[in-house]
Chain A
Amino acid sequence: DAGVTQSPTHLIKTRGQHVTLRCSPISGHKSVSWYQQVLGQGPQFIFQYYEKEERGRGNFPDRFSARQFPNYSSELNVNALLLGDSALYLCASSLEGLAIDEQFFGPGTRLTVL
Protein backbone atom coordinates (compact mmCIF):
# COMPACT_ATOMS: atom_id res chain seq x y z
CA ASP A 1 0.00 0.00 0.00
CA ALA A 2 1.17 3.49 -0.75
CA GLY A 3 2.11 5.69 2.15
CA VAL A 4 1.20 9.33 2.60
CA THR A 5 2.08 11.28 -0.51
CA GLN A 6 2.67 15.00 -0.81
CA SER A 7 3.13 17.31 -3.76
CA PRO A 8 5.10 19.13 -4.83
CA THR A 9 8.36 17.98 -3.29
CA HIS A 10 9.98 21.39 -3.51
CA LEU A 11 8.61 24.82 -4.17
CA ILE A 12 10.16 28.26 -4.52
CA LYS A 13 7.96 31.33 -4.18
CA THR A 14 8.47 35.04 -3.63
CA ARG A 15 7.07 37.17 -0.84
CA GLY A 16 3.41 38.01 -1.24
CA GLN A 17 2.59 35.05 -3.43
CA HIS A 18 0.15 32.28 -2.67
CA VAL A 19 0.92 28.56 -2.43
CA THR A 20 -1.13 25.35 -2.38
CA LEU A 21 0.29 22.14 -0.98
CA ARG A 22 -1.38 18.78 -1.49
CA CYS A 23 -1.57 15.59 0.53
CA SER A 24 -3.03 12.15 -0.10
CA PRO A 25 -3.50 10.03 3.03
CA ILE A 26 -3.07 6.31 3.38
CA SER A 27 -6.07 4.45 2.03
CA GLY A 28 -8.65 4.04 4.78
CA HIS A 29 -7.37 6.94 6.87
CA LYS A 30 -9.99 9.60 7.52
CA SER A 31 -7.89 12.20 9.29
CA VAL A 32 -5.18 14.47 7.95
CA SER A 33 -3.00 16.85 9.94
CA TRP A 34 -0.60 19.51 8.72
CA TYR A 35 2.63 20.54 10.42
CA GLN A 36 5.24 23.19 9.75
CA GLN A 37 8.85 22.25 10.49
CA VAL A 38 11.30 25.11 10.51
CA LEU A 39 14.96 24.16 10.23
CA GLY A 40 16.32 23.09 13.59
CA GLN A 41 12.93 22.76 15.28
CA GLY A 42 10.29 20.15 15.79
CA PRO A 43 7.09 20.12 13.74
CA GLN A 44 4.47 22.67 14.75
CA PHE A 45 0.80 21.73 14.44
CA ILE A 46 -1.17 23.79 11.92
CA PHE A 47 -4.47 21.98 11.25
CA GLN A 48 -6.26 18.70 11.69
CA TYR A 49 -9.16 17.58 9.52
CA TYR A 50 -11.45 14.63 10.03
CA GLU A 51 -14.24 13.67 7.68
CA LYS A 52 -13.85 17.02 5.89
CA GLU A 53 -14.37 19.01 9.10
CA GLU A 54 -11.69 21.06 10.84
CA ARG A 55 -11.05 19.41 14.18
CA GLY A 56 -8.15 21.50 15.39
CA ARG A 57 -6.13 24.57 14.56
CA GLY A 58 -2.71 25.59 15.81
CA ASN A 59 -1.38 29.04 16.51
CA PHE A 60 -1.00 30.20 12.92
CA PRO A 61 -2.34 33.36 11.24
CA ASP A 62 -5.41 33.41 9.03
CA ARG A 63 -3.15 33.42 5.98
CA PHE A 64 -3.03 29.67 6.53
CA SER A 65 -6.09 27.67 5.51
CA ALA A 66 -6.84 24.09 4.59
CA ARG A 67 -9.57 21.80 3.47
CA GLN A 68 -10.24 18.10 3.12
CA PHE A 69 -12.00 16.56 0.18
CA PRO A 70 -14.52 13.68 0.04
CA ASN A 71 -11.70 11.26 -0.87
CA TYR A 72 -9.90 12.43 2.32
CA SER A 73 -7.08 14.15 0.45
CA SER A 74 -6.22 17.60 1.68
CA GLU A 75 -4.84 20.95 0.62
CA LEU A 76 -2.97 23.50 2.66
CA ASN A 77 -3.10 27.06 1.37
CA VAL A 78 -0.88 29.92 2.44
CA ASN A 79 -1.56 33.46 1.26
CA ALA A 80 0.67 36.53 1.26
CA LEU A 81 3.82 34.51 1.81
CA LEU A 82 6.46 35.82 4.17
CA LEU A 83 10.13 34.89 4.37
CA GLY A 84 9.36 33.19 7.68
CA ASP A 85 7.02 30.75 5.97
CA SER A 86 10.05 28.97 4.53
CA ALA A 87 9.91 25.51 6.04
CA LEU A 88 9.22 21.84 5.48
CA TYR A 89 5.46 21.26 5.49
CA LEU A 90 4.49 17.81 6.67
CA CYS A 91 1.23 16.04 6.21
CA ALA A 92 0.25 13.16 8.48
CA SER A 93 -2.69 10.80 8.23
CA SER A 94 -4.31 8.57 10.82
CA LEU A 95 -7.31 6.28 10.98
CA GLU A 96 -9.65 8.37 13.10
CA GLY A 97 -7.53 11.31 14.19
CA LEU A 98 -7.69 10.28 17.83
CA ALA A 99 -4.98 11.18 20.30
CA ILE A 100 -4.04 7.50 20.63
CA ASP A 101 -3.75 6.92 16.87
CA GLU A 102 -0.41 6.57 15.18
CA GLN A 103 0.22 9.29 12.66
CA PHE A 104 1.88 8.38 9.37
CA PHE A 105 3.92 11.19 7.88
CA GLY A 106 4.57 12.02 4.27
CA PRO A 107 8.01 13.12 3.02
CA GLY A 108 7.02 16.76 3.15
CA THR A 109 7.04 19.74 0.83
CA ARG A 110 10.05 22.02 1.13
CA LEU A 111 8.85 25.60 0.66
CA THR A 112 11.38 28.36 0.09
CA VAL A 113 10.17 31.96 0.10
CA LEU A 114 12.53 34.50 -1.45
Chain B
Amino acid sequence: AQSVTQLGSHVSVSEGALVLLRCNYSSSVPPYLFWYVQYPNQGLQLLLKYTSAATLVKGINGFEAEFKKSETSFHLTKPSAHMSDAAEYFCAVTFNTNAGKSTFGDGTTLTVKP
Protein backbone atom coordinates (compact mmCIF):
# COMPACT_ATOMS: atom_id res chain seq x y z
CA ALA B 1 0.00 0.00 0.00
CA GLN B 2 1.13 3.51 -0.72
CA SER B 3 1.85 5.74 2.25
CA VAL B 4 3.61 8.90 3.35
CA THR B 5 5.54 9.39 6.56
CA GLN B 6 6.65 12.75 7.86
CA LEU B 7 9.34 12.36 10.48
CA GLY B 8 8.94 14.85 13.28
CA SER B 9 5.54 16.31 14.01
CA HIS B 10 7.17 19.49 15.33
CA VAL B 11 10.30 21.24 14.14
CA SER B 12 11.68 24.40 15.71
CA VAL B 13 14.38 26.56 14.14
CA SER B 14 15.79 30.00 14.73
CA GLU B 15 15.17 32.77 12.25
CA GLY B 16 17.87 32.58 9.57
CA ALA B 17 18.61 28.91 10.21
CA LEU B 18 18.22 26.04 7.77
CA VAL B 19 14.80 24.45 7.55
CA LEU B 20 14.65 20.70 6.92
CA LEU B 21 11.32 18.88 6.92
CA ARG B 22 11.43 15.17 6.23
CA CYS B 23 9.13 13.09 4.06
CA ASN B 24 9.41 9.45 3.09
CA TYR B 25 7.00 7.57 0.89
CA SER B 26 6.20 3.99 0.18
CA SER B 27 4.95 2.85 -3.21
CA SER B 28 5.33 0.15 -5.81
CA VAL B 29 4.75 2.52 -8.72
CA PRO B 30 6.36 5.84 -9.66
CA PRO B 31 4.97 8.61 -7.48
CA TYR B 32 4.18 12.25 -7.94
CA LEU B 33 5.13 14.13 -4.78
CA PHE B 34 3.87 17.41 -3.40
CA TRP B 35 4.57 19.72 -0.49
CA TYR B 36 1.77 21.93 0.82
CA VAL B 37 1.71 24.62 3.49
CA GLN B 38 -1.27 25.34 5.70
CA TYR B 39 -1.64 28.48 7.79
CA PRO B 40 -4.10 28.52 10.71
CA ASN B 41 -7.74 28.35 9.66
CA GLN B 42 -6.85 28.21 5.98
CA GLY B 43 -6.75 25.66 3.21
CA LEU B 44 -3.60 24.14 1.76
CA GLN B 45 -1.31 25.98 -0.63
CA LEU B 46 1.07 24.18 -2.96
CA LEU B 47 4.76 24.88 -2.36
CA LEU B 48 6.22 22.59 -5.00
CA LYS B 49 5.74 19.30 -6.80
CA TYR B 50 7.85 16.51 -8.26
CA THR B 51 6.68 15.04 -11.54
CA SER B 52 9.82 13.18 -12.67
CA ALA B 53 11.15 16.01 -14.83
CA ALA B 54 13.96 16.91 -12.41
CA THR B 55 14.95 15.47 -9.05
CA LEU B 56 15.64 18.88 -7.49
CA VAL B 57 12.48 20.92 -7.43
CA LYS B 58 12.29 24.60 -6.60
CA GLY B 59 9.11 26.05 -5.22
CA ILE B 60 7.68 29.26 -3.89
CA ASN B 61 9.00 31.28 -0.95
CA GLY B 62 12.54 29.92 -1.33
CA PHE B 63 11.66 26.29 -0.62
CA GLU B 64 13.07 23.36 -2.55
CA ALA B 65 12.95 19.59 -2.31
CA GLU B 66 15.01 16.76 -3.70
CA PHE B 67 13.54 13.46 -4.85
CA LYS B 68 15.78 10.53 -3.90
CA LYS B 69 14.43 7.30 -5.26
CA SER B 70 17.02 5.12 -3.53
CA GLU B 71 15.97 6.58 -0.16
CA THR B 72 12.27 6.96 -1.09
CA SER B 73 12.50 10.48 0.27
CA PHE B 74 11.36 13.96 -0.70
CA HIS B 75 12.66 16.25 2.02
CA LEU B 76 11.79 19.95 2.02
CA THR B 77 14.48 22.53 2.69
CA LYS B 78 14.95 26.27 2.90
CA PRO B 79 18.35 27.84 3.51
CA SER B 80 17.18 30.62 5.82
CA ALA B 81 13.98 30.56 7.84
CA HIS B 82 11.72 33.60 8.14
CA MET B 83 9.16 34.23 10.83
CA SER B 84 6.49 34.05 8.16
CA ASP B 85 7.42 30.41 7.45
CA ALA B 86 5.81 29.30 10.70
CA ALA B 87 2.96 27.04 9.62
CA GLU B 88 2.05 23.39 9.15
CA TYR B 89 3.59 21.54 6.24
CA PHE B 90 2.19 18.47 4.52
CA CYS B 91 3.83 16.05 2.17
CA ALA B 92 1.50 14.27 -0.24
CA VAL B 93 1.79 11.60 -2.91
CA THR B 94 -0.34 10.63 -5.89
CA PHE B 95 -0.06 7.84 -8.42
CA ASN B 96 -1.36 7.36 -11.94
CA THR B 97 -3.16 4.25 -10.70
CA ASN B 98 -5.21 6.37 -8.29
CA ALA B 99 -5.74 9.44 -10.45
CA GLY B 100 -6.28 12.52 -8.31
CA LYS B 101 -6.42 10.85 -4.93
CA SER B 102 -3.71 12.35 -2.74
CA THR B 103 -2.35 10.55 0.28
CA PHE B 104 -1.08 12.99 2.88
CA GLY B 105 1.33 12.67 5.73
CA ASP B 106 0.27 13.79 9.19
CA GLY B 107 2.06 17.09 8.86
CA THR B 108 4.97 18.89 10.49
CA THR B 109 4.43 22.07 12.46
CA LEU B 110 7.29 24.50 11.89
CA THR B 111 8.04 27.04 14.61
CA VAL B 112 10.48 29.86 13.89
CA LYS B 113 12.10 31.51 16.89
CA PRO B 114 13.31 35.10 16.72
Contact = CB atoms under 8 A, between A and B. Distances in A.
A41 B106 contact: yes
Contact of B44 (A44, A56, A90, A101): A90
Interface residues of A, number: 30
A31 to B, nearest CB: 6
Contacts of A105: 36, 43-45
Interface residues of B, number: 27
A55 interface: yes
Interface of B: 4, 32, 34, 36, 41-46, 49, 51, 90, 92, 94-96, 98-107
Given A35-B102, A105-B36, 16 more contacts: A31-B100, A33-B101, A42-B104, A42-B107, A45-B103, A56-B98, A58-B101, A90-B43, A94-B100, A97-B99, A99-B100, A100-B94, A100-B96, A101-B100, A102-B49, A105-B45
Interface of A: 4, 31, 33, 35, 40-45, 48, 50, 55-56, 58, 90, 92, 94, 97-108
